[in-house]
Amino acid sequence: MSNEFNGPYASLEQNALSLKLVAISIRELLFIKSLPCAVYGIKDGLFKLLLDTGNSVDNNTVRDLLKEGQHYLFVYRSERQTLIEHQQTNLRNVTRSLSVGNPVEKAVKQMNLLTINLGYLYSDPTNDQLLELQFQSAKNLASFLIDKCEIHEQIFQEYLKQKHHFILGQPLLSSIFLMGILKNASLYNNSEVINLFLTSYFKDIGMSAIPTEKYDQVELNDEEKVLLANHARHSVEILQGRVPLGPSYLKIIENHHSFSLLTQNLELSLSTNNKVLAGFETMLVTVMDVISAMISGRPYRKASSLYESLDLIKLLIADQYPQEFKLIVNYFRNFFFQGRKGDIF
Ligand SMILES: [Fe+2]
């Protein structure tokens, strides 16, 4: 008898849930002491309440969910904003207190929160409040890390452990690498390095034209391919007039995939000639992007090691630009020597 009544009732309830729930990333549960909303998962093909409002969440909670195969989590659409606001507050708080406590722990926390919040920005790129928080927080992180190149390798290893979606994680990795190389080059003052960090970090915001999860497909459809091909220009359109980056930085963003143009125009890039330096910066942004892409895994291919990615860069630029290649290798040398033989080697 109970089956007769429970069956149809359960399916009605499930139908209602499928209309009311929206997907979230499991990483959004990081740094939450008390859940602002209920979290659902899927068990035996049905939605199921996993964590209730007010439940405490720690690393073990997340680990247990993953162990149980709960990779797809949901919250009520009406409560989605509470989780976003919670993570925005977390980001603001850690941004304000970066210099207090253990620098590695603080930097890694800030990096993870930036990436979680970058996901919100990619879902809503015209939202001024999201962009402003992201810009300010990324700028504070850059100022914090600029004189701490010695911890880059360690924070890199720690950050990789969270396995953020590559679309969201790659910009931060490539920007930190860029910062280290620019500092090693000793050609720039700190404010230029910070602006170039931000340029690199926001260069791919135009990729938000395609929903993040679509990038998990091996092949995008034709319309998505066109959107992807135009993402550099789209990034400039999104950023222009909304962030304090000057025209020369926006130019770098616009050209960050014009590798052939770079290889034609670059001659002894380390000269002090401004025109040439602009090419050098764009090339570095592009090269760091290639390295970060290679070392981040995709659902359809494994991550390459840092060594393999440097091998490709060697093929691309070492003959024509030996000095620049040396700069890159010198920076990553620390990663090889200090590395604790993690995933990348
Ligand atoms: Fe790009």
Q: Cα(184)–Cα(190) distance, rounded to whole angstroms?
A: 12
Residues with Cβ within 8 Å of 297's Cβ and at least 6 positions away in sequence, in order, are 163, 166, 303
Give per-residue pLDDT as tens, 126-162. Answer: 999 999 999 999 999 999 999 998 899 999 989 988 8
Q: What angle do CA 214, 217, 223 make, to 5 degrees?
A: 60
CA of 181 to the centre of ligand 1 (A): 19
**Which domains, and CATH codes, for the chain?**
1-80 (no CATH), 118-129+146-338 (1.10.3210.10)
**What is the value of pTM for the model shown?**
0.86
Q: Cα(20)–Cα(18) distance, rounded to whole angstroms?
A: 6
Sort strands 21-24 and 73-76 into parallel, antiparallel or unpaired.
Answer: antiparallel
CB-based contact 31:87 (threshold 8 Å): yes
CA of 169 to the centre of ligand 1 (A): 13
Q: Give 48's DSSP letter.
A: E
CA of 224 to the centre of ligand 1 (A): 14
Q: Which is nearest to 286 in space by CA: 178, 180, 195?
A: 178
CA of 88 to the centre of ligand 1 (A): 25
Packed helices 306-313 and 322-338: angle between N→C axes, nearest 10 degrees: 170
pLDDT at 3 over 60: no
CA of 101 to the centre of ligand 1 (A): 34
pLDDT (0 to 100) of residue 345 = 38
Q: Cα(316)–Cα(99) distance, rounded to whole angstroms?
A: 39
Q: Cα(159)–Cα(73) distance, rounded to whole angstroms?
A: 22
What DSSP string describes 24-83? Answer: E-GGGGTT-SS-SS-EEEEETTEEEEEE-TT----HHHHHHHHHTT---EEEEGGGHHHH
pLDDT band at 340 (very low <50, low <70, confident <90, very high): very low
Q: Cα(73)–Cα(121) distance, rounded to whole angstroms?
A: 19
CA of 315 to the centre of ligand 1 (A): 20
CA of 171 to the centre of ligand 1 (A): 9
CB-based contact 280:196 (threshold 8 Å): no
CA of 109 to the centre of ligand 1 (A): 25
CB-based contact 118:171 (threshold 8 Å): yes
Name the residues around ion ligand 1, CB cutoff 5 A.
204
Q: Which residue has the tokens 């914090």?
A: 144
Give per-residue pLDDT as tens, 248-271. Answer: 999 999 988 875 444 444 433 333
CA of 257 to the centre of ligand 1 (A): 6
CA of 18 to the centre of ligand 1 (A): 35
CB-based contact 291:313 (threshold 8 Å): yes
CA of 232 to the centre of ligand 1 (A): 6
Give per-residue pLDDT as tens, 116-132. Answer: 999 999 999 999 999 99
Q: Which is nearest to 299 in space by CA: 221, 217, 225, 210?
A: 217
pLDDT band at 16 (very low <50, low <70, confident <90, very high): confident
pLDDT (0 to 100) of residue 252 = 93
CA of 256 to the centre of ligand 1 (A): 6
CA of 253 to the centre of ligand 1 (A): 8
CA of 289 to the centre of ligand 1 (A): 7
pLDDT (0 to 100) of residue 273 = 41
What would the two tokens of residue 7 be? 């069956």
Phi and psi, residue 124, nearest 5°: -150, 65
CA of 168 to the centre of ligand 1 (A): 12
* Torsional class of 189: left (φ above 0), alpha (ψ -120 to 50), beta (otherwise): beta
CB-based contact 14:21 (threshold 8 Å): no
Rounded to the nearest angstrom, the gap between the alpha carbon of residue 91 and the centroid of all alpha carbons in its chain is: 15
CB-based contact 111:172 (threshold 8 Å): yes
CA of 179 to the centre of ligand 1 (A): 17
Give per-residue pLDDT as tens, 29-71. Answer: 999 989 999 999 998 888 999 999 999 898 889 889 988 888 8
Mean pLDDT (the chain, rounded):
86
CA of 204 to the centre of ligand 1 (A): 5
What would the two tokens of residue 40 be? 């659902």
What average pLDDT score do residues 202-206 get? 96
CA of 81 to the centre of ligand 1 (A): 29
CA of 75 to the centre of ligand 1 (A): 31
CA of 44 to the centre of ligand 1 (A): 39
pLDDT at 10 over 90: no
Q: Cα(295)–Cα(302) distance, rounded to whole angstroms?
A: 9
CA of 319 to the centre of ligand 1 (A): 24
